[in-house]
Amino acid sequence: MHPRVRQNFPVCKKILTFAPKRFSMPDISEKGIKMPASPIRKLVPYADAAKDRGIKVYHLNIGQPDIASPQTALNAIRNFENRVIEYGHSAGNLSYRKKLAKYYNELKIDISYEDILITAGGSEALLIALNVCLNPGDEVIVPEPFYTNYNSFALQAGVKIKPITTKIESGFAMPLMKEFENMITPSTKAILLCNPNNPTGYLYSRKELEQLGEIVAKHDLFLISDEVYREFCYDDFEYFSCMELKGIEDNVILIDSTSKRYSMCGIRVGAIVTRNKKVTESILHFCQSRLCAPIIGQIAAEAALDTPDTYFSNMHKEYLSRRNCLVERLNKIRDVFCPMPKGAFYTIVRLPVDDAEKFAIWLLDNFEYQGQTVMLAPAAGFYHTQGKGINEVRIAYVLQKPDLINAIRCLKYALEKYNR
């Protein structure tokens, strides 16, 4: 060994003696720990494994429409010729907002383009709305079951959800107004609705919303209304927007999205609409912090506003037919109960099982009927109250009728085998 190396060797040895054997990992945040997995998507590994075994999986778990996106939107994407995809305005493309304002005006929603801010999907719209309208620790009242990601948005905004449980026996009708009144505390700052409702398919009537508007006015609350399924109303039931309520014009925040209306979930374009200038100013600051909503998506969304009425009438007929097919066949299965949804393209179904999540996993992991099985969304994840919805599932009727019929047949035989 070279003398110089021998001279330094004891020092090296000493350094190695005191070097740590392993590095510790820092803890993640409390929000990171509490962030729930999606009940709609967390069973995907089981579905993937079933497909690897050669099993055909009917996806009734996710609200991904199979209706073709409007040709006008697809053409706009194909014809995009800009050499650079530049940043857009933080509030949204001006031409799109002006055109979107006309769309709302035709729905009897009296607003201007200045009342509209474009977001990266309805999800970002709701997350921003919660951050703008509520402080950390404030409460928002939500009828349950509700879209499961409301839990995630509330956690990110630091606000507390106070659920009011609706019941499958009544078709998940809106709770009595006194129940809302009883839930209100000094910390309550908002009521959040989805109309038509995901996951139940319930459609709130004008009378119900007007009564709720009186409570909002009395307690000076925000009314955040998620109305992304407005085109999906059945049996002559009419859509009525919370933006039409009188006397609470500055209290209402409308959440919207192009995902379901135009069958374009992947373009991630939504909107917040409100007449409250203080709120819009603050929303714009949030929008500026994330620079802009997707530009290509906005181009598609703007073009989609030229979609002919026949597109929606045909879509309406198709979903109505699927709904009737699904509900009729489900209720013929022994001990299964499915209320008739009035809107959207979902329904909550009560099954004769001990645990719907365990059953949903079993369907993918241990069951097949003629090489087929079904993927469901356990409904417990759509409730905030622990222990609710244990034997319920959410079903999205977004498949063609022949596939729906096959899926329900699979479900029938699966229930018989599972309970045997």
- Contact (CB, 8 A) for 417 and 68: no
Cα end-to-end span (Å), the chain: 78
Question: How many angstroms separate the Cα of 380 from the Cα of each of 161, 168, 216, 405?
Answer: 16, 13, 29, 25
Looking at 20-29, 81-90, 118-127, which range is the least confident one?
20-29
- For residue 22, what pLDDT is reported? 59
Q: Which CATH architecture has domain 31-67+309-419?
A: Alpha-Beta Complex (3.90)
**Which tokens in the block code for residue 289?**
């912090």
> Is the separation of the CB atoms in 96 and 302 below 8 Å?
yes
- Domain residue spans of the chain: 31-67+309-419, 71-304
Q: Taking a C-beta distance cutoff of 8 angstroms, is the pair 200, 232 a contact?
A: no
Amino acid 21: pLDDT: 54
Give the pLDDT of residue 25: 79
Of 312, 383, 292, 395, the closest CA to residue 349 belongs to 395
* Whether residue 341 has a cis bond before it, omega within 30° of 0: no
> Which pLDDT band, with edges at 50, 70 and 90, does 23 fall under?
low
Confidence of residue 238 (pLDDT cuts 50, 70, 90): very high
CATH topology of domain 71-304: Aspartate Aminotransferase; domain 2 (3.40.640)
Over the chain, what is the mean pLDDT?
Answer: 93
Report the amino acid identity of residue 414.
A
The encoded tokens of residue 407 equal: 């899926």
The CA-CA-CA angle for residues 278, 283, 286, to 5°, reads 135
What percent of the chain stands above pLDDT 90?
90
**pLDDT at residue 38 in the model:** 81
pLDDT for 365 equals 96
Output b/e per residue, 69-89; b: 16+ Cβ within 10 A.
Answer: bbebbeebeeeeeeeeeeebb
Binning the chain into helix, strand and coil, the percentages to the nearest 5 are 45, 15, 40
Span 137-151, average pLDDT: 97
Per-residue DSSP letter, 169: G
Topology alike, domains 31-67+309-419 and 71-304: no
352 prior amide bond cis, ω within 30:
no
pLDDT digits (tens, 9 = 90+) for 267-284: 999 999 999 999 999 999
- Could you give the 3-state DSSP secondary structure of residue 42? coil
Q: Are 379 and 196 in contact (CB under 8 A)?
A: no
- Would you say 283 and 256 are in contact if contact means Cβ atoms under 8 Å apart? no
Q: Are the CB atoms for 287 and 91 separated by under 8 Å?
A: yes
For residues 191-204, average pLDDT: 98
192-203 average pLDDT score: 98
Q: What is the pLDDT of residue 20?
A: 54
Rounded Cα gap, residues 156 and 134, in angstroms: 12
- Name which of 104, 143, 136 is nearest 271 in CA terms: 104
DSSP 405: H
**pLDDT value of residue 73:** 98
- pLDDT tier at 7, thresholds 50, 70, 90: very low
Q: Can you tell me the mean pLDDT for 161-170?
A: 97
Q: Alpha helix locations (H) across 165-308?
A: 177-183, 206-219, 277-289, 295-304
Sheet holding 116-119, edge to edge: 116-119, 270-273, 252-257, 222-226, 188-194, 139-144, 160-165
Could you give the strand order of the β-sheet that contains 346-350, starting from the edge strand earlier in sequence? Answer: 346-350, 392-396, 377-378
pTM given for the model: 0.91
Instruction: Tell me the pLDDT tens digit for each residue of 99-121.
Output: 999 999 999 999 999 999 999 99
Residue 6 has pLDDT above 60, yes or no: no
Q: Distance (Å, rounded) from C-alpha 219 to C-alpha 347?
A: 32
What are the tokens at 221? 């609350």
- What is residue 337's DSSP assignment? B
From CA 183, how far away is CA 121, in angstroms rounded? 30
